[in-house]
Amino acid sequence: MKDKFSNIFPAHGGSLTVQNLIDLIACADLIIKGKGEIKPYSSFLGEQKACSYGSVTIAFDPNKIKAQ
């Protein structure tokens, strides 16, 4: 469906481009496969980890990652 839309408006934050979504999928895949460059990340939720790819960064709790 990437050819049908140029921007997506999520529930919070700014709009996302098709490239942002492609980068999010690639970043999530790296996290699940344990291949991304993981760095410490601090937020209001406490200490977490983060992985960046292209135009995006995903913050996550590594204890909650489960590949299916």
pLDDT digit string (tens) for 15-35? 888 899 899 999 999 999 989
Tokens 């204890």 correspond to what residue?
Answer: 63
What pLDDT sits at residue 3?
80
Are residues 48 and 29 in contact, defined by beta-carbon separation less than 8 angstroms? Answer: no
1 domain residue, yes or no: no
Q: What's the mean pLDDT when you consider all of the chain?
A: 88
Identify whether 27 is part of a domain: yes
The domain of 27 spans 7-64
Radius of gyration of the chain (CA): 13
Residue 49 confidence (pLDDT) above 90: yes
Question: Could you tell me if residue 51 is inside a domain?
Answer: yes
Tell me the pTM.
Answer: 0.81
Task: Tokens for 63, please give them.
Answer: 């204890």
